[in-house]
């Protein structure tokens, strides 16, 4: 079964990071001028302080699940590097 909450949080952070990178670019700077950890921390804070990020991400992930984006079965599982089989 897809962990909807984890998938939505990941999508929300990804969208928040995109917004941070866009704001950096709008200032005429490059995102690579900042540490990844600083940008990730700012994205996590944006998601934590504003519930609209998580709500929008949940809607997107639910739509993707119904469309079969995560696999043909509705119970597709996410695989992390910790859960992948070693060769």
pLDDT one-digit tens code per residue, 9-33: 999 999 999 999 999 999 999 999 9
pLDDT one-digit tens code per residue, 43-85: 999 999 999 999 999 999 988 888 888 776 544 455 555 555 5
Among 52, 43, 51, 46, which residue's Cα sits nearest to residue 14? 43
Cβ-Cβ contacts under 8 Å for 63 (sequence gap 6 or more)? none
């Amino acid at each position: 079964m897809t962990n909807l909450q984890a998938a939505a949080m990941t999508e929300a952070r990804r969208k928040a990071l995109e917004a941070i990178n866009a704001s950096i670019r709008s200032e005429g700077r490059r995102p690579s001028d900042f540490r990844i950890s600083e940008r990730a921390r700012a994205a996590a804070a944006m998601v934590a302080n504003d519930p609209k990020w998580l709500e929008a991400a949940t809607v997107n992930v639910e739509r993707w699940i119904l469309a079969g984006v995560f696999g043909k079965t509705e119970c597709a599982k996410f695989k992390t590097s910790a859960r992948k089989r070693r060769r």
